[in-house]
């Protein structure tokens, strides 16, 4: 059955014609090139290279950035792109989020003119893949205490340390690595072949199987002086990137939820138990109407946040709320949808268990659910509760 | 050289069609798309333009909703967009439509015309030959491929023993069957350019063509009859019943 995107409040009618055309383009790509292959990609644990090519050709990588070969679309359009990609798979959306918001964006915002001209066009076209190294084995939610460090050796920088859980790491030509230089967090552009740099892939994931996750290891890794991002210091650097990626995730999660709803509705209408479709029973209808309710709210949240991003009137706490809420409901919807599918729900013939497992990662990365609660808690009370140390 | 592509907007082949008061309820159509054979025609026209140069004009006749179709054509590479505005398109018969399209083709200056072999809604299949007749062009139908060959064009179409290549010179019309390549996907750059492209709206009066009266009157539309429910038989004892039904009711053995 063809996919029918749930849009109960006609939120997409608020999009511009251009945004709707971008939506249809990405939706067709997902229908034609992603859905038929996604289960194979997951079984093999690979991100199909043709998706990289297609994303570049469509012009959706770094979509909201202006100039340097980037499309210069609205942030709302970027959200729509994330939603449509994640309707296919969170791993696919992760690829695009990392490339655009976490690797291209810091070069675009904090890089030198030469860096922008050198890297951005090739990253927008998908020729070069980027990754973003912030998390370390011992520092996840509190990246500020990271131990990866850079030393100024006069003619070059020397990087030492390790990053973990880095999306696209092994397949990336360009890594944006956050490390401490004289105790201050700075961003560095590390290239695949830099001496002393390796990016082994992490295996054995039950989630985001079609996305590559890696360690980044720096052992006396020597990089030229012009690879420092000149225009940012401190946690503001990585956090500005995360704001954009988290914003995209708040839309992406809606896509995953829509896919699960679509599958659950179709399945419940065709599955007969006790001589009637299970969709005719009140308990099942209650689940479906709850999904409809939550998806509709999440859509309105994402759309309004998009308008605020485009108007420049947003604050990071609003992004935290949307990321946290929309991933939370998407994960719950995936679980309920799995339940409605009964035993069939565990098969890869249906998308739901895959979305459910994916969303567990999405809940954790880009600030865990609870870290976003703490961000909101600090906003409400003015008291930080991340640590007992003040 | 100007290449024209004649495009029709039809309910998407996946959209649910409902009939209300003896007519297809257009307001209930959730998605409108290119008629599928028109997509092959458009793609082949884009490819021809890439090798032979020239300008590609996309022409459609229909109500205001058809502008979306033209924007989609622009997003993949159509240069000029022509909308023959005909709110009552469903009341026109095939010949009237052909007259409108032929007049628009002549006005556009196009000498090579691409279209689908039939539209996915009415399936009349007469547009290509009809337009060719009106503008005095040669016409090749059921085309899967068109190549420019110096003096003219070679079109590939099926023949009783495989495929035949038909050579024609402009003016000519190619009515497309399934082509070799699916229509390309647009990209963001194309979409952004399409947004800025003006749509020329040509009224019937502006075209200055007398389309006469419709010679066809549609009494009513009706949905296809519902399939009778399937029958299920289990166990060895039902074999003779099943064989009987296959022979007497289904006529398959
Ligand atoms: C598939 C995948 C891809 C990823 N891709 C990237 C990437 O590309 N780049 C990158 O840099 N990172 C990436 N990450 C890492 C991700 O950002 C981290 O996993 C995340 O920040 C959480 O860190 P952690 O896993 O160390 O969990 P921890 O920080 O150890 O958290 C464990 C639990 O403790 C809770 N917790 C922590 N601190 C507090 C507190 N103060 N109060 C209350 N509860 C607390 C958390 O909410 C969580 O429930 C990825 C992760 C995954 C799973």
Question: In terms of Cα–Cα distance, which of B94, B154, B156 is closest to B129?
Answer: B94
State the smallest CA–CA distance between residue A58 and chain B in angstroms: 4
Q: Is A99 in the pocket of ligand 1 (CB under 6 A)?
A: no
Residue A329: per-residue pLDDT: 98
Please state, in angstroms and rounded to a whole number, the distance separating the CA atoms of residues A98 and A100: 6
Q: Looking at residue A4, what is its pLDDT?
A: 87
In this prediction, residue B151 carries a pLDDT of 85
- From the number of C-beta atoms within 10 Å of its C-beta (0-12, 13-18, 19+), residue B88 rates as exposed
**Does the structure show a pLDDT above 80 at A390?**
no
Contact: B185, A58; criterion CB under 8 Å: yes
pLDDT of residue A199: 98
Regions in chain B scoring below 70 on pLDDT: none
A83 in Cβ contact with A97 (< 8 Å): no
Between CA A196 and CA A190 the distance in angstroms is 11
pLDDT bin (cut points 50, 70, 90) of residue A360 is very high
Query: A370 CB under 6 A from ligand 1?
Result: yes
What number is the average pLDDT over the span A107-111?
98
| pLDDT given at position A355 | 98
pLDDT of residue A223: 97
Residues of chain A with Cβ-Cβ distance to B74 below 8 Å are none
Residue A96: band (very low, low, confident or very high) from pLDDT cuts 50, 70, 90: very high
Please report residues of B whose CB lies closer than 8 A to that of A21: 71-72, 75, 186, 191, 194-195
Q: Are A21 and B75 inside 8 Å of each other by CB?
A: yes
pLDDT per position as a tens digit, A287-315: 999 999 999 999 999 999 999 999 999 99
- Give ∠ CA A282-A271-A256 in degrees, rounded to 5: 80
Closest CA to A367 of A206, A216, A250: A250
- Ligand 1 contact via A134 beta carbon (within 6 Å): yes
Buried b (16+ CB within 10 A) or exposed e, B62-72: beeebbbbbbb
pLDDT at A194: 98
The mean per-residue pLDDT over the stretch A169-181 comes to 98
pLDDT in tens, A268-279: 999 999 999 999
**pLDDT for residue A263 is more than 80:** yes
Percent of chain A predicted with pLDDT > 90: 98
Q: Rounded distance, CA A37 to CA B224, Å?
A: 34
Task: Tell me what pLDDT residue B201 has.
Answer: 97
Per-residue pLDDT at A280 exceeds 80 = yes
With CB atoms and an 8 Å threshold, state whether B195 touches A63.
no
Model confidence, pTM: 0.92
Q: Which of A32, A191, A366, A389 is catalytic?
A: A366
A49-63 pLDDT, tens digit per residue, is 999 999 999 999 999
* Known catalytic membership, residue A360: no
Find the helix or strand (DSSP H, E) in which A56 lies.
helix A49-58
Whether pLDDT at A66 is above 90: yes
Give the closest-approach CA distance of A33 to chain B in angstroms. 11
H/E stretch holding B153 reads: strand B152-159
Q: With beta carbons less than 8 A apart as the criterion, state whether B72 and B52 touch.
A: no
* pLDDT at B250 (0 to 100): 82
Indicate the DSSP class of residue A357. H
pLDDT at A279: 98
Closest CA to A91 of A11, A205, A199, A201: A205
Q: What is the pLDDT of residue B228?
A: 80
Nearest atom within ligand 1 for CA of residue A361:
53
**Residue A316, pLDDT score:** 97
Our CA dihedral for A305, A308, A309, A310, rounded to 10 degrees, sits at 130
Instruction: Quickly list DSSP for A96-162.
Output: HHIIIIIIIHHHHHHS-HHHHHHHHHHHHTTSS-EEEE--BTTBSS-GGG---EEEE-SSEEEEEEE
Q: Which two tokens stand for residue A93?
A: 């959306």
CA–centroid distance, residue A181 to ligand 1 (Å): 23
Tokens of B48: 């021809």
Q: What does the alpha-carbon distance between residue A254 and residue A261 come to, in Å, rounded to a whole number?
A: 10
Mean predicted confidence (pLDDT) in A104-115: 98
- Arithmetic mean of pLDDT, A174-181: 98
When mean pLDDT is compared across A85-89, A140-144, B127-131, B236-240, the lowest value belongs to: B236-240
Whether residue B191 and residue A22 make contact (CB cut-off 8 A), yes or no, is yes
B195:A25 CB<8 A: no
How many residue contacts between A and B have a Cβ separation below 8 Å?
42
Cβ-nearest to A17 among B185, B186, B195: B195
The pLDDT assigned to B16 comes to: 87
């Amino acid at each position: 059955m063809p996919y029918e995107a749930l849009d109960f409040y006609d939120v997409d009618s608020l999009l511009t014609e251009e945004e709707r055309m971008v939506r249809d383009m990405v939706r067709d790509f997902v229908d034609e090139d992603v859905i038929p292959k996604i289960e194979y990609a997951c079984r093999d644990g690979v991100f199909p290279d043709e998706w990289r090519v297609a994303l570049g050709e469509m012009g959706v990588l770094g979509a909201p950035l202006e100039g340097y070969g980037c499309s210069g679309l609205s942030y709302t359009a970027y959200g729509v792109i994330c939603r449509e990609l994640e309707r296919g798979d969170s791993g696919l959306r992760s690829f695009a989020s990392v490339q655009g918001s976490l690797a291209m964006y810091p070069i675009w915002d904090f890089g030198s003119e030469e860096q922008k001209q050198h890297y951005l066009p090739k990253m927008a076209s998908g020729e070069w893949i980027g990754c973003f190294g912030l998390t370390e084995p011992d520092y996840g939610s509190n990246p500020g205490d990271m131990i990866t460090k850079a030393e100024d050796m006069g003619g070059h920088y020397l990087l030492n340390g390790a990053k973990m859980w880095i999306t696209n790491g092994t397949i990336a030509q360009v890594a944006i690595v956050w490390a401490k230089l004289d105790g201050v967090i700075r961003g560095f552009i590390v290239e695949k072949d830099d001496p002393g740099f390796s990016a082994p892939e992490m295996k054995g994931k039950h989630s985001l199987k079609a996305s590559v996750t890696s360690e980044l290891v720096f052992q006396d890794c020597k990089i030229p002086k012009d690879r420092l991002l000149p225009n940012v210091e401190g946690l503001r650097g990585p956090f500005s990137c995360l704001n954009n990626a988290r914003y995209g995730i708040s839309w992406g999660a809606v896509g995953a939820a829509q896919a699960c709803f679509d599958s659950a509705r179709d399945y419940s209408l065709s599955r007969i138990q006790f001589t009637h479709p299970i969709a005719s029973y009140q308990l099942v209808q209650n689940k479906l109407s709850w999904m409809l309710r939550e998806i509709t709210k999440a859509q309105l949240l994402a759309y309004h946040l998009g308008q605020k991003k485009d108007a420049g009137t947003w604050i990071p706490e609003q992004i935290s709320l949307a990321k946290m809420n929309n991933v939370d409901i998407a994960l719950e919807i995936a679980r309920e949808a799995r339940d409605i599918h009964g035993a069939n729900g565990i098969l890869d013939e249906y998308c739901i268990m895959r979305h459910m497992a994916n969303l567990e990662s999405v809940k954790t990365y880009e600030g865990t659910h609870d870290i976003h609660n703490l961000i909101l808690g600090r906003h409400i009370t003015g008291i930080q509760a991340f640590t007992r140390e003040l | 050289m100007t290449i024209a592509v004649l495009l029709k907007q039809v309910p998407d082949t996946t959209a649910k069609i409902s009939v209300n008061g003896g007519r297809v309820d257009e307001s209930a159509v959730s998605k409108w798309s290119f008629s599928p054979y028109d997509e092959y025609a458009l793609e082949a026209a884009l490819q021809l333009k890439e090798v032979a140069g020239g300008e590609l004009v996309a022409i459609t006749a229909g109500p205001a909703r058809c502008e979306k179709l033209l924007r989609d054509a622009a997003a993949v590479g159509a240069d000029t967009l022509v909308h023959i505005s005909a709110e009552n398109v469903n009341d026109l018969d095939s010949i009237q439509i052909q007259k409108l399209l032929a007049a628009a083709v002549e006005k556009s200056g196009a000498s090579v015309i691409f279209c689908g072999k039939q539209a996915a809604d009415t399936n009349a299949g007469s547009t290509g030959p009809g337009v060719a007749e009106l503008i005095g062009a040669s016409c090749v139908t059921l085309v899967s491929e068109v190549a420019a060959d110096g003096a003219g064009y070679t079109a590939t179409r099926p023949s009783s023993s495989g495929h035949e290549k038909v050579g024609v010179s402009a003016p000519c019309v190619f009515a497309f069957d399934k082509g070799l390549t699916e229509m390309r996907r647009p990209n963001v750059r194309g979409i952004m350019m399409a947004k800025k492209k003006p749509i020329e709206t040509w009224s019937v009066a502006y075209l200055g063509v007398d389309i006469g009266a419709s010679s066809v009157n549609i009494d009513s539309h009706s949905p296809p009859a519902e399939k009778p429910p399937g029958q299920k038989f289990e166990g060895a004892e039902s074999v003779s019943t099943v064989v009987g039904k296959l022979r007497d009711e289904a006529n398959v053995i």
